Protein backbone atom coordinates (compact mmCIF):
# COMPACT_ATOMS: atom_id res chain seq x y z
CA UNK A 1 0.00 0.00 0.00
CA UNK A 2 1.33 3.47 -0.92
CA UNK A 3 2.57 5.75 1.85
CA UNK A 4 0.66 8.60 0.21
CA UNK A 5 -2.87 9.53 1.22
CA UNK A 6 -4.89 12.60 0.26
CA UNK A 7 -4.35 15.41 2.78
CA UNK A 8 -7.30 17.73 3.56
CA UNK A 9 -7.21 21.45 2.80
CA UNK A 10 -5.25 23.43 5.37
CA UNK A 11 -3.70 20.40 7.12
CA UNK A 12 -0.15 21.12 8.19
CA UNK A 13 2.58 19.17 6.39
CA UNK A 14 4.13 17.20 7.98
CA UNK A 15 2.02 18.03 11.05
CA UNK A 16 3.86 20.16 13.61
CA UNK A 17 2.27 23.41 14.76
CA UNK A 18 5.36 25.04 13.20
CA UNK A 19 5.16 23.27 9.82
CA UNK A 20 6.10 25.58 6.96
CA UNK A 21 3.64 23.95 4.52
CA UNK A 22 -0.12 23.52 4.54
CA UNK A 23 -2.07 21.31 2.16
CA UNK A 24 -3.69 22.80 -0.96
CA UNK A 25 -5.15 19.61 -2.45
CA UNK A 26 -7.04 20.99 -5.48
CA UNK A 27 -6.44 23.71 -8.03
CA UNK A 28 -9.63 25.35 -6.78
CA UNK A 29 -8.01 25.54 -3.33
CA UNK A 30 -4.90 27.14 -4.85
CA UNK A 31 -7.00 29.80 -6.59
CA UNK A 32 -9.04 30.34 -3.42
CA UNK A 33 -5.84 30.83 -1.43
CA UNK A 34 -4.44 33.31 -3.96
CA UNK A 35 -7.70 35.27 -4.16
CA UNK A 36 -8.33 35.18 -0.41
CA UNK A 37 -11.68 33.45 -0.72
CA UNK A 38 -13.18 32.84 2.74
CA UNK A 39 -14.25 29.30 1.89
CA UNK A 40 -10.54 28.50 1.46
CA UNK A 41 -8.78 30.77 3.94
CA UNK A 42 -10.96 29.71 6.89
CA UNK A 43 -9.18 26.34 6.72
CA UNK A 44 -5.69 27.88 6.84
CA UNK A 45 -4.36 28.43 10.36
CA UNK A 46 -0.73 28.23 9.24
CA UNK A 47 1.37 28.07 6.11
CA UNK A 48 4.71 29.32 4.84
CA UNK A 49 5.53 31.83 7.62
CA UNK A 50 6.36 34.77 5.34
CA UNK A 51 2.95 34.49 3.64
CA UNK A 52 0.46 33.22 6.20
CA UNK A 53 0.13 34.87 9.62
CA UNK A 54 0.28 31.97 12.08
CA UNK A 55 -2.45 31.30 14.64
CA UNK A 56 0.06 31.95 17.45
CA UNK A 57 0.92 35.38 16.04
CA UNK A 58 -2.79 36.20 15.73
CA UNK A 59 -3.38 35.10 19.32
CA UNK A 60 -0.50 37.26 20.53
CA UNK A 61 -1.87 40.23 18.58
CA UNK A 62 -5.25 39.72 20.25
CA UNK A 63 -3.62 39.70 23.67
CA UNK A 64 -1.58 42.85 22.99
CA UNK A 65 -4.59 44.53 21.40
CA UNK A 66 -6.28 44.69 24.80
CA UNK A 67 -3.79 47.34 25.88
CA UNK A 68 -5.23 50.84 25.77
CA UNK A 69 -2.36 52.17 23.63
CA UNK A 70 -2.82 49.43 20.99
CA UNK A 71 -6.58 48.85 21.03
CA UNK A 72 -8.38 49.22 17.71
CA UNK A 73 -5.17 49.20 15.66
CA UNK A 74 -3.71 46.67 13.23
CA UNK A 75 -0.61 45.06 14.71
CA UNK A 76 2.44 43.56 13.04
CA UNK A 77 4.82 41.56 15.24
CA UNK A 78 8.42 41.66 14.10
CA UNK A 79 11.90 40.35 14.79
CA UNK A 80 13.46 43.42 16.45
CA UNK A 81 13.07 47.13 17.26
CA UNK A 82 15.15 47.84 14.15
CA UNK A 83 12.65 46.02 11.94
CA UNK A 84 9.75 47.79 13.69
CA UNK A 85 11.33 51.16 12.93
CA UNK A 86 11.88 50.20 9.29
CA UNK A 87 8.28 49.04 8.89
CA UNK A 88 6.90 52.20 10.53
CA UNK A 89 9.02 54.33 8.20
CA UNK A 90 7.75 52.36 5.22
CA UNK A 91 4.10 52.71 6.22
CA UNK A 92 4.49 56.34 7.21
CA UNK A 93 4.57 57.78 10.72
CA UNK A 94 2.25 60.67 9.88
CA UNK A 95 -1.15 61.03 8.23
CA UNK A 96 -4.53 59.42 8.89
CA UNK A 97 -3.20 55.81 8.73
CA UNK A 98 0.07 56.58 10.53
CA UNK A 99 2.21 53.75 11.87
CA UNK A 100 3.89 53.65 15.28
CA UNK A 101 6.58 51.20 16.38
CA UNK A 102 6.05 49.71 19.83
CA UNK A 103 7.65 47.42 22.37
CA UNK A 104 5.04 45.93 24.70
CA UNK A 105 5.26 42.93 27.03
CA UNK A 106 8.66 42.15 25.57
CA UNK A 107 7.29 42.02 21.99
CA UNK A 108 8.35 44.36 19.18
CA UNK A 109 5.92 45.47 16.54
CA UNK A 110 4.13 48.22 14.65
CA UNK A 111 0.59 49.51 15.19
CA UNK A 112 -1.29 51.41 12.48
CA UNK A 113 -4.79 52.42 11.51
CA UNK A 114 -6.69 49.37 10.30
CA UNK A 115 -7.12 49.89 6.55
CA UNK A 116 -6.87 47.27 3.77
CA UNK A 117 -4.18 49.33 2.04
CA UNK A 118 -1.93 49.61 5.11
CA UNK A 119 -2.49 45.97 5.99
CA UNK A 120 -1.40 44.88 2.52
CA UNK A 121 1.63 47.19 2.49
CA UNK A 122 2.75 45.98 5.90
CA UNK A 123 2.44 42.30 5.00
CA UNK A 124 4.30 42.64 1.72
CA UNK A 125 7.13 44.66 3.31
CA UNK A 126 7.72 42.03 5.98
CA UNK A 127 7.39 39.26 3.40
CA UNK A 128 10.11 40.80 1.23
CA UNK A 129 12.49 41.47 4.13
CA UNK A 130 11.79 38.40 6.25
CA UNK A 131 10.82 40.49 9.27
CA UNK A 132 7.90 38.57 10.77
CA UNK A 133 8.14 37.31 14.33
CA UNK A 134 8.73 33.55 14.13
CA UNK A 135 6.01 31.10 15.11
CA UNK A 136 8.14 29.70 17.95
CA UNK A 137 8.88 33.20 19.24
CA UNK A 138 5.14 33.94 19.25
CA UNK A 139 4.44 30.67 21.05
CA UNK A 140 7.13 31.36 23.65
CA UNK A 141 5.73 34.83 24.32
CA UNK A 142 2.25 33.35 24.78
CA UNK A 143 3.59 30.86 27.31
CA UNK A 144 5.58 33.53 29.15
CA UNK A 145 2.49 35.76 29.34
CA UNK A 146 0.31 32.94 30.63
CA UNK A 147 -1.90 32.79 27.53
CA UNK A 148 -0.82 29.24 26.66
CA UNK A 149 0.13 26.61 29.22
CA UNK A 150 3.27 25.29 27.52
CA UNK A 151 5.08 25.10 24.21
CA UNK A 152 4.43 22.14 21.94
CA UNK A 153 6.93 19.34 22.80
CA UNK A 154 9.59 18.84 20.16
CA UNK A 155 13.13 17.56 19.77
CA UNK A 156 15.58 20.40 20.47
CA UNK A 157 19.38 20.48 20.44
CA UNK A 158 20.63 20.65 24.01
CA UNK A 159 23.96 22.42 23.50
CA UNK A 160 25.16 25.51 21.63
CA UNK A 161 22.75 25.42 18.69
CA UNK A 162 24.45 28.13 16.62
CA UNK A 163 27.80 26.35 16.99
CA UNK A 164 26.24 23.04 15.88
CA UNK A 165 24.69 24.66 12.81
CA UNK A 166 27.97 26.26 11.88
CA UNK A 167 29.85 23.00 12.48
CA UNK A 168 27.76 21.32 9.78
CA UNK A 169 27.92 24.30 7.43
CA UNK A 170 31.72 24.34 7.68
CA UNK A 171 31.59 20.96 5.98
CA UNK A 172 30.05 22.43 2.82
CA UNK A 173 31.65 25.89 2.88
CA UNK A 174 35.34 25.07 2.84
CA UNK A 175 37.49 28.04 3.81
CA UNK A 176 34.74 29.92 5.63
CA UNK A 177 35.48 30.82 9.23
CA UNK A 178 32.89 31.17 11.96
CA UNK A 179 32.69 34.92 11.31
CA UNK A 180 31.87 34.22 7.65
CA UNK A 181 28.79 32.15 8.53
CA UNK A 182 26.02 34.61 9.42
CA UNK A 183 22.67 33.18 10.50
CA UNK A 184 19.31 34.78 9.65
CA UNK A 185 15.65 34.20 10.58
CA UNK A 186 14.82 33.37 6.94
CA UNK A 187 16.41 33.03 3.54
CA UNK A 188 14.80 36.30 2.44
CA UNK A 189 16.21 38.15 5.44
CA UNK A 190 19.60 36.79 4.40
CA UNK A 191 19.02 37.96 0.82
CA UNK A 192 18.00 41.48 1.84
CA UNK A 193 21.03 41.74 4.15
CA UNK A 194 23.36 40.69 1.33
CA UNK A 195 21.65 43.09 -1.09
CA UNK A 196 21.89 46.01 1.34
CA UNK A 197 25.49 45.22 2.27
CA UNK A 198 26.62 45.33 -1.35
CA UNK A 199 24.48 48.40 -2.06
CA UNK A 200 26.00 50.25 0.89
CA UNK A 201 29.50 49.33 -0.24
CA UNK A 202 29.00 50.13 -3.92
CA UNK A 203 26.86 53.28 -3.87
CA UNK A 204 29.76 55.60 -2.91
CA UNK A 205 31.60 54.13 -5.90
CA UNK A 206 28.82 55.33 -8.20
CA UNK A 207 27.33 51.85 -8.55
CA UNK A 208 23.57 51.65 -7.94
CA UNK A 209 22.32 49.20 -10.60
CA UNK A 210 21.47 45.58 -9.90
CA UNK A 211 21.45 42.77 -12.44
CA UNK A 212 19.22 39.69 -12.28
CA UNK A 213 20.46 36.74 -14.35
CA UNK A 214 17.73 34.22 -15.13
CA UNK A 215 14.38 34.00 -13.38
CA UNK A 216 14.54 34.52 -9.62
CA UNK A 217 12.30 33.63 -6.72
CA UNK A 218 9.45 36.16 -6.52
CA UNK A 219 10.64 38.02 -3.39
CA UNK A 220 14.19 38.28 -4.72
CA UNK A 221 12.75 39.88 -7.85
CA UNK A 222 10.67 42.21 -5.66
CA UNK A 223 13.75 43.19 -3.65
CA UNK A 224 15.58 44.30 -6.79
CA UNK A 225 12.54 46.00 -8.31
CA UNK A 226 11.44 47.90 -5.22
CA UNK A 227 14.57 48.67 -3.22
CA UNK A 228 17.12 49.80 -5.78
CA UNK A 229 17.75 53.54 -5.73
CA UNK A 230 15.83 54.13 -8.98
CA UNK A 231 14.15 50.91 -10.18
CA UNK A 232 13.32 52.26 -13.64
CA UNK A 233 17.01 52.94 -14.20
CA UNK A 234 18.78 50.51 -11.85
CA UNK A 235 16.91 47.21 -12.20
CA UNK A 236 18.53 45.23 -15.02
CA UNK A 237 17.54 41.76 -16.18
CA UNK A 238 19.24 39.19 -18.39
CA UNK A 239 16.86 36.32 -18.96
CA UNK A 240 18.81 33.59 -20.74
CA UNK A 241 21.33 32.02 -18.36
CA UNK A 242 23.11 30.34 -21.30
CA UNK A 243 23.64 33.57 -23.27
CA UNK A 244 27.08 34.62 -22.07
CA UNK A 245 27.68 36.82 -25.11
CA UNK A 246 24.52 38.80 -24.35
CA UNK A 247 25.63 39.17 -20.74
CA UNK A 248 28.99 40.48 -21.91
CA UNK A 249 27.22 43.09 -24.05
CA UNK A 250 25.11 44.15 -21.09
CA UNK A 251 28.21 44.61 -18.94
CA UNK A 252 29.92 46.53 -21.74
CA UNK A 253 27.01 48.99 -21.70
CA UNK A 254 26.26 49.21 -17.97
CA UNK A 255 29.33 47.76 -16.22
CA UNK A 256 30.62 50.89 -14.46
CA UNK A 257 27.33 51.39 -12.63
CA UNK A 258 26.45 47.77 -11.74
CA UNK A 259 26.68 47.25 -7.98
CA UNK A 260 25.76 43.59 -7.86
CA UNK A 261 24.51 40.54 -9.68
CA UNK A 262 22.03 38.00 -8.27
CA UNK A 263 21.88 34.44 -9.59
CA UNK A 264 20.13 31.33 -8.40
CA UNK A 265 22.26 28.35 -9.41
CA UNK A 266 20.18 26.49 -10.40
CA UNK A 267 17.21 28.77 -11.04
CA UNK A 268 13.69 28.39 -9.66
CA UNK A 269 11.60 26.85 -11.19
CA UNK A 270 13.34 25.88 -14.45
CA UNK A 271 16.44 24.46 -12.70
CA UNK A 272 18.82 26.13 -15.16
CA UNK A 273 22.47 26.79 -14.35
CA UNK A 274 24.70 29.41 -15.99
CA UNK A 275 28.43 28.99 -16.50
CA UNK A 276 29.05 30.26 -12.98
CA UNK A 277 32.81 30.62 -13.30
CA UNK A 278 32.48 32.64 -16.52
CA UNK A 279 29.86 34.96 -15.00
CA UNK A 280 32.04 35.46 -11.93
CA UNK A 281 35.03 36.40 -14.06
CA UNK A 282 32.88 38.88 -15.99
CA UNK A 283 31.47 40.46 -12.84
CA UNK A 284 34.90 40.73 -11.20
CA UNK A 285 36.38 42.29 -14.32
CA UNK A 286 33.74 45.02 -14.19
CA UNK A 287 33.84 45.58 -10.42
CA UNK A 288 30.40 44.11 -9.67
CA UNK A 289 29.81 41.94 -6.63
CA UNK A 290 28.05 38.60 -6.98
CA UNK A 291 25.33 37.01 -4.81
CA UNK A 292 24.80 33.31 -5.53
CA UNK A 293 21.84 31.38 -4.15
CA UNK A 294 22.14 27.56 -4.01
CA UNK A 295 18.67 26.98 -2.48
CA UNK A 296 17.31 24.79 -5.29
CA UNK A 297 19.98 22.10 -4.96
CA UNK A 298 21.53 23.13 -1.61
CA UNK A 299 25.21 23.60 -0.73
CA UNK A 300 25.29 19.87 0.02
CA UNK A 301 25.01 19.41 -3.76
CA UNK A 302 26.64 22.49 -5.32
CA UNK A 303 29.80 24.35 -4.37
CA UNK A 304 29.24 28.04 -5.13
CA UNK A 305 31.27 29.88 -2.49
CA UNK A 306 34.51 30.08 -4.55
CA UNK A 307 32.61 31.99 -7.26
CA UNK A 308 30.56 34.32 -5.05
CA UNK A 309 31.20 37.38 -2.96
CA UNK A 310 28.23 36.36 -0.82
CA UNK A 311 26.29 33.12 -0.83
CA UNK A 312 22.72 33.44 0.40
CA UNK A 313 21.10 30.26 1.63
CA UNK A 314 17.64 29.31 2.85
CA UNK A 315 18.23 26.92 5.73
CA UNK A 316 14.51 26.08 5.55
CA UNK A 317 15.39 23.80 2.65
CA UNK A 318 17.37 20.55 3.07
CA UNK A 319 18.95 21.56 6.41
CA UNK A 320 15.54 21.90 8.14
CA UNK A 321 14.36 18.88 6.18
CA UNK A 322 11.60 17.97 8.65
CA UNK A 323 9.73 21.04 7.41
CA UNK A 324 9.16 22.98 10.63
CA UNK A 325 11.85 25.68 10.78
CA UNK A 326 12.35 28.84 8.76
CA UNK A 327 15.92 30.18 8.78
CA UNK A 328 18.68 31.39 6.48
CA UNK A 329 22.34 32.28 6.20
CA UNK A 330 24.74 34.65 4.50
CA UNK A 331 28.15 33.15 3.81
CA UNK A 332 31.07 35.47 3.03
CA UNK A 333 33.78 34.42 0.58
CA UNK A 334 36.75 35.16 2.84
CA UNK A 335 39.09 35.71 -0.11
CA UNK A 336 36.71 37.98 -2.04
CA UNK A 337 37.85 41.53 -2.85
CA UNK A 338 35.59 43.23 -0.27
CA UNK A 339 35.24 40.37 2.22
CA UNK A 340 35.97 42.32 5.41
CA UNK A 341 33.58 45.16 4.60
CA UNK A 342 30.81 42.84 3.42
CA UNK A 343 31.15 40.68 6.52
CA UNK A 344 30.59 43.68 8.79
CA UNK A 345 27.82 45.21 6.70
CA UNK A 346 25.84 42.01 6.21
CA UNK A 347 26.00 41.18 9.92
CA UNK A 348 24.61 44.61 10.71
CA UNK A 349 21.65 44.21 8.37
CA UNK A 350 20.59 40.74 9.55
CA UNK A 351 17.77 40.23 12.01
CA UNK A 352 18.21 38.01 15.12
CA UNK A 353 17.17 34.35 15.04
CA UNK A 354 14.93 33.13 17.86
CA UNK A 355 16.81 30.75 20.16
CA UNK A 356 14.32 27.89 19.93
CA UNK A 357 14.33 28.06 16.13
CA UNK A 358 18.11 27.60 16.28
CA UNK A 359 17.74 24.71 18.70
CA UNK A 360 15.18 22.99 16.46
CA UNK A 361 17.33 23.50 13.36
CA UNK A 362 20.41 22.20 15.15
CA UNK A 363 18.49 19.06 16.09
CA UNK A 364 17.93 18.29 12.39
CA UNK A 365 20.96 19.61 10.56
CA UNK A 366 23.23 16.72 11.50
CA UNK A 367 21.19 14.44 9.20
CA UNK A 368 21.03 16.91 6.31
CA UNK A 369 23.79 15.31 4.24
CA UNK A 370 22.21 11.86 4.59
CA UNK A 371 18.72 13.12 3.77
CA UNK A 372 20.02 15.06 0.76
CA UNK A 373 21.77 11.96 -0.58
CA UNK A 374 18.53 9.97 -0.33
CA UNK A 375 16.63 12.78 -2.08
CA UNK A 376 19.23 12.81 -4.87
CA UNK A 377 18.89 9.08 -5.44
CA UNK A 378 15.10 9.32 -5.70
CA UNK A 379 15.23 12.38 -7.97
CA UNK A 380 17.39 10.56 -10.51
CA UNK A 381 14.72 7.86 -10.87
CA UNK A 382 11.72 10.19 -10.82
CA UNK A 383 13.24 12.45 -13.50
CA UNK A 384 13.93 9.46 -15.75
CA UNK A 385 10.32 8.31 -15.29
CA UNK A 386 8.82 11.71 -16.13
CA UNK A 387 11.10 12.28 -19.12
CA UNK A 388 9.81 9.09 -20.77
CA UNK A 389 6.13 9.23 -19.79
CA UNK A 390 3.82 9.86 -22.78
CA UNK A 391 1.53 12.21 -20.79
CA UNK A 392 4.39 14.56 -19.88
CA UNK A 393 5.25 17.39 -22.27
CA UNK A 394 8.50 18.83 -20.85
CA UNK A 395 10.75 18.19 -17.88
CA UNK A 396 13.28 20.51 -16.27
CA UNK A 397 15.81 19.35 -13.68
CA UNK A 398 19.48 19.77 -12.84
CA UNK A 399 20.73 17.47 -15.63
CA UNK A 400 18.47 18.72 -18.42
CA UNK A 401 20.79 18.80 -21.47
CA UNK A 402 20.69 22.57 -22.10
CA UNK A 403 22.57 23.42 -18.88
CA UNK A 404 23.75 19.99 -17.70
CA UNK A 405 27.44 20.76 -18.31
CA UNK A 406 27.21 24.06 -16.43
CA UNK A 407 25.57 22.30 -13.49
CA UNK A 408 28.17 19.56 -13.33
CA UNK A 409 30.93 22.18 -13.11
CA UNK A 410 29.60 23.25 -9.69
CA UNK A 411 28.03 19.94 -8.56
CA UNK A 412 29.84 18.00 -5.86
CA UNK A 413 29.20 14.69 -7.65
CA UNK A 414 27.47 13.61 -10.85
CA UNK A 415 24.55 12.41 -8.75
CA UNK A 416 24.20 15.59 -6.66
CA UNK A 417 21.01 16.66 -8.43
CA UNK A 418 18.81 18.05 -5.65
CA UNK A 419 15.09 17.62 -5.15
CA UNK A 420 13.50 19.79 -7.81
CA UNK A 421 11.83 18.60 -11.00
CA UNK A 422 9.51 20.91 -12.93
CA UNK A 423 7.28 19.59 -15.68
CA UNK A 424 4.31 20.35 -17.90
CA UNK A 425 1.64 17.97 -19.14
CA UNK A 426 0.07 17.26 -22.49
CA UNK A 427 -3.33 17.13 -20.80
CA UNK A 428 -5.18 19.10 -18.15
CA UNK A 429 -3.23 20.55 -15.24
CA UNK A 430 -6.34 20.61 -13.05
CA UNK A 431 -7.29 16.98 -13.69
CA UNK A 432 -3.82 15.73 -12.82
CA UNK A 433 -3.28 18.03 -9.85
CA UNK A 434 -6.63 17.20 -8.28
CA UNK A 435 -6.14 13.44 -8.78
CA UNK A 436 -2.56 12.92 -7.65
CA UNK A 437 -2.31 11.77 -4.02
CA UNK A 438 1.07 13.35 -3.28
CA UNK A 439 1.26 16.04 -0.58
CA UNK A 440 0.57 19.40 -2.21
CA UNK A 441 1.82 22.79 -1.06
CA UNK A 442 4.62 25.33 -1.49
CA UNK A 443 8.25 24.95 -0.38
CA UNK A 444 10.79 22.27 -1.30
CA UNK A 445 13.83 20.50 0.05
CA UNK A 446 11.86 18.56 2.67
CA UNK A 447 12.13 14.86 3.37
CA UNK A 448 8.42 14.86 2.42
CA UNK A 449 7.61 14.90 -1.29
CA UNK A 450 5.68 18.03 -2.29
CA UNK A 451 3.91 19.05 -5.48
CA UNK A 452 2.76 22.56 -6.36
CA UNK A 453 1.37 24.47 -9.36
CA UNK A 454 4.28 26.84 -8.82
CA UNK A 455 3.39 29.64 -11.20
CA UNK A 456 -0.12 29.90 -9.74
CA UNK A 457 1.32 30.17 -6.22
CA UNK A 458 4.26 32.45 -6.94
CA UNK A 459 2.97 34.60 -9.80
CA UNK A 460 -0.82 34.49 -9.75
CA UNK A 461 -0.93 38.11 -10.90
CA UNK A 462 0.90 37.08 -14.08
CA UNK A 463 -1.17 33.94 -14.63
CA UNK A 464 -4.41 35.93 -14.58
CA UNK A 465 -3.56 38.69 -17.06
CA UNK A 466 -2.76 38.66 -20.76
CA UNK A 467 0.33 40.82 -20.26
CA UNK A 468 1.47 38.59 -17.40
CA UNK A 469 1.15 35.45 -19.47
CA UNK A 470 3.16 37.12 -22.21
CA UNK A 471 5.88 37.97 -19.70
CA UNK A 472 5.96 34.38 -18.48
CA UNK A 473 6.14 33.07 -22.04
CA UNK A 474 9.04 35.39 -22.81
CA UNK A 475 10.97 33.66 -20.02
CA UNK A 476 9.99 30.15 -21.06
CA UNK A 477 7.50 29.72 -18.21
CA UNK A 478 4.12 28.06 -18.66
CA UNK A 479 1.32 28.97 -16.23
CA UNK A 480 0.62 25.23 -16.07
CA UNK A 481 4.11 24.31 -14.87
CA UNK A 482 4.17 21.89 -11.93
CA UNK A 483 7.06 21.86 -9.46
CA UNK A 484 7.85 18.58 -7.76
CA UNK A 485 10.10 18.44 -4.71
CA UNK A 486 11.18 14.83 -4.36
CA UNK A 487 11.39 13.47 -0.82
CA UNK A 488 12.83 10.36 0.81
CA UNK A 489 9.76 8.12 0.72
CA UNK A 490 10.22 4.78 -1.10
CA UNK A 491 10.79 5.76 -4.71
CA UNK A 492 8.46 2.99 -5.86
CA UNK A 493 5.62 4.76 -4.03
CA UNK A 494 6.46 8.14 -5.59
CA UNK A 495 6.55 6.62 -9.08
CA UNK A 496 3.35 4.61 -8.61
CA UNK A 497 1.47 7.64 -7.30
CA UNK A 498 2.57 9.75 -10.26
CA UNK A 499 1.73 6.96 -12.70
CA UNK A 500 -1.73 6.55 -11.21
CA UNK A 501 -2.58 10.21 -11.78
CA UNK A 502 -0.92 10.49 -15.18
CA UNK A 503 -2.97 7.55 -16.48
The predicted-structure confidence for 348-373, as pLDDT tens digits, reads as follows: 999 999 999 999 999 999 999 999 99
Q: Is 211 within 8 Å of 262 (Cβ atoms)? A: yes
Q: Is 412 exposed, middle or buried (0-12, 13-18, 19+ CB in 10 A)?
A: middle
| pTM, full prediction | 0.96
Whether residue 314 contacts residue 190, with contact meaning beta carbons closer than 8 Å, is answered with yes
Give the pLDDT mean for 487-502.
97
Question: How high does pLDDT run on average in the chain?
Answer: 96
pLDDT band at 275 (very low <50, low <70, confident <90, very high): very high
Percent of the chain with pLDDT over 90: 95
What is the pLDDT, as a whole number, of residue 44? Answer: 87
Long-range contacts of the stretch 111-114 (C-beta < 8 A, 24+): 111/69, 111/70, 111/73, 111/74, 111/75, 112/73, 112/74, 112/76, 112/88, 113/73, 113/74, 114/72, 114/73, 114/74
Say whether 6 sits in a helix, a strand or coil.
coil
The Cα 287–Cα 452 span in angstroms is 39
Residue 310 and residue 194 in contact, taking contact as beta carbons nearer than 8 Å: yes
Identify whether the C-beta of residue 72 lies closer than 8 Å to the C-beta of residue 100.
no
pLDDT per residue over 243-266, tens digit each?
A: 999 999 999 999 999 999 999 999
373-400: average pLDDT = 98
Amino acid sequence: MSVFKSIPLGRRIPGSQHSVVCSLPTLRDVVGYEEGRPETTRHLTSGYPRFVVHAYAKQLCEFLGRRADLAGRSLWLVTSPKMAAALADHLGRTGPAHAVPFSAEGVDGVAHTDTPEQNARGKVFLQHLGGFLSTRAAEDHLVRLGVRPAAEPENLFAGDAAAEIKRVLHGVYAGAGDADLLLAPSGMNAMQAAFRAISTLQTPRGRTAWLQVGWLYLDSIALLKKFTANPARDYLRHGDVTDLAGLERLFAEHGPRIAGVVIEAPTNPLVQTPDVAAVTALARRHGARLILDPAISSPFNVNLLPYADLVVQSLTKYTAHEGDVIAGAVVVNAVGPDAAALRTLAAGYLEPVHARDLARLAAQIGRAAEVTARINANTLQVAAFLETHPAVAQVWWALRPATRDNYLKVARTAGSVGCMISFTLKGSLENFYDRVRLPKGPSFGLQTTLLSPYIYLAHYDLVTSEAGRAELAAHGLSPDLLRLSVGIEPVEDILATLAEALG
